Amino acid sequence: MAGIDELIANVVDRNIDYGTTWAFDSNNNDGSNDDESVIVKQLKFFHQKDLEKKFSDKNLYVKAFYLHHLLDYFRETRFDIYDIDLVFDKFLQEKVKIQLVDNNGKEINFQNEIYQIFDLLKKNKRELYSDLRGKYLTRLNNKKE
């Protein structure tokens, strides 16, 4: 999905679901600000992984990061998930950052990656809702798409 390699998606999922504190420990000299949120630290970490892999600027780890958090947001949100544009707007307002400032003070914007994921999910709503209905959102069984 979204052109993300399955191995990368699995690494990102495991790191986010089971904790990423190992990535931010005192032995890691990434210059992270202790006041940063976990989300920002994760985004910086996965952006750095993309830079190390040098995937012709695809930002695969970053895309997997956003997709993971967006799918979790569908599960967690109090908004009507069938209003997909509202969910996307609230996701950006409440859950993640579109940009970050790296350790060199350079601003990096991930708006293109986020909107690629949004467009993909919009085009595949049926599959999205079917997957959500499968194991996460049993309350959807009584609603029509």
pLDDT tens-place string over residues 82-136:
999 999 999 999 988 899 887 788 899 999 999 999 999 999 998 888 888 765 5
Structural domains of the chain, count: 1
Residue 97: which of 66, 61, 73 has the closest Cα?
66
Q: Range of 90's domain?
A: 6-142
Contact by Cβ (8 Å): 2, 63:
yes
Largest CA distance in the chain: 51
The verdict on pTM exceeding 0.85 is: no
Assess if residue 1 is contained within a domain.
no
